[in-house]
Amino acid sequence: MKSLAEHVESPELAAACLQFIESGGHTTQSFGLGQVIGQVFALLYLSPRPLCLDEIAEELGVSKASVSTTVRQLESWSAVKHVWVKSDRRDFYEAETDFKAMLRQGVLGTLRKKMDTAAVRLENVETTLADALEKSAQTGREETKVVAERLQRARQFHAKINGLLNNPLLDHLL
Amino acid sequence: MKSLAEHVESPELAAACLQFIESGGHTTQSFGLGQVIGQVFALLYLSPRPLCLDEIAEELGVSKASVSTTVRQLESWSAVKHVWVKSDRRDFYEAETDFKAMLRQGVLGTLRKKMDTAAVRLENVETTLADALEKSAQTGREETKVVAERLQRARQFHAKINGLLNNPLLDHLL
DNA sequence: AACTACGTTCAGTTTGCACTGAACGACAAT
DNA sequence: ATTGTCGTTCAGTGCAAACTGAACGTAGTT
């Protein structure tokens, strides 16, 4: 991280920016994502102009490979967007300022995907359970019904969370 | 995982339970937590009676150490609760059936903690920024104000999310 | 064509973390 | 006291994933 100190007028401002970038890295790391992705976004968020891959890599002191993959992930969440600079082959990126859209396509998007895969798993369990219910119909055991009831409640909970994620009220609250 | 097959009447029902337990493990693992924690909760959730550590460990085929730490984590989220069985020294646990409370103290609780630590970091950045603003007051540079504005917007976003997490409407939606 | 400056990819490395096994302390029973 | 059965703890292990470095493909430049 050296060029930042060159571009910024006061060392105090540079210190604040570095603190912010570091905080972003710690935050994303605490959520299981790496620390690079948070640093990249924080840097782009504070940058007054779009930056290219090499600038980001040099600024953060990480490899260009990390920045390449990270930027594409951020782009898929519409957290950063591609920007073309006239007569320059390089790819420049700038941070998305609309946090709401970022949250929708980023956090909520991945959350919805996980809910979908969980739904598939639950459906498989229910088909297996249907076999069990069918074969124990003559015996009429108690335990089967208890398990069936628990599984049904789990599905209801899943549906409730799913509904919450797609609730327009949630969008309105942001 | 062998005792389950012994306690359950039909092999189909046991298969459904195992599928459910496995699904729970996959789900928690997809969220960065291990797979054991999801399996433990799923097992306790389907179990008609409270289980002790050794039973859980043997059922899932994991070490008792994992179960010990995992159960305490689940307990801190009030996802499982301690149950005493008369004239038995062992600690028994059963699953919490109230998913709402579980979600509040589990997911939202840890989320709130992360927001708090992020808030501390943001405050540190702002004090550093205050120094920069003070020292650049005479110069009155443009860049400092831009960065200050961006940081302020970041703080506003943080406050918004914080407010959403503590919004009683969110509780009502669950 | 040769050369350079891009971005991407992939094998290799390292770091972090879930999980284990053994040792330990507590406590009850004999 | 001693033995046995609990639960917890901690150093060690294995593995997954972040990150790196070099090679590659591509496109513009001379």
pLDDT per position as a tens digit, A122-145: 999 999 999 888 876 656 677 788
Average per-residue pLDDT in chain A? 91
B16, two tokens: 């459904």
Spatial distance between the Cα atoms of B14 and B17, rounded to a whole number of angstroms: 5
Contacts of B129 in chain A (CB under 8 A): 12-13, 16
Spatial distance between the Cα atoms of B34 and B38, rounded to a whole number of angstroms: 8
Contacts of A136 in chain B (CB under 8 A): 9-10, 12-13
Q: What local confidence, expressed as pLDDT, does residue A4 receive?
A: 67
In chain B, what is the greatest distance between 2 CA atoms, to the nearest angstrom? 82
- Interval A21-38: pLDDT, tens: 999 999 999 999 999 999
Q: What local confidence, expressed as pLDDT, does residue A8 receive?
A: 66
Spatial distance between the Cα atoms of A131 and B29, rounded to a whole number of angstroms: 28
CA A72 to C1' C10 (Å) is 17
CATH topology of domain A3-95: Arc Repressor Mutant, subunit A (1.10.10)
Give the number of A-B residue pairs with CB atoms closer than 8 Å: 139
Q: Which of A62, A93, A58 is nearest to A79 (CA)?
A: A93
What are the C-alpha distances in Å from B143 to residues A55, A98, A128, B15?
A: 19, 21, 63, 64
Provide the percentage of residues in chain A whose pLDDT is more than 70. Answer: 92
Counting beta carbons within 10 angstroms of the beta carbon of residue B156, is it exposed (0 to 12), middle (13 to 18) or buried (19 or more)? exposed
The per-residue pLDDT string of chain B (174 residues; one tens digit each, 9 = 90 and over) reads 445 655 666 778 899 999 999 999 999 999 999 999 999 999 999 999 999 999 999 999 999 999 999 999 999 999 999 999 999 999 999 999 999 999 999 999 999 999 999 999 999 999 999 988 887 666 667 778 889 999 999 999 999 999 999 999 888 888
From A144, A153, A157, residue closest to B13, measured CB to CB:
A144
DSSP state of B95: E
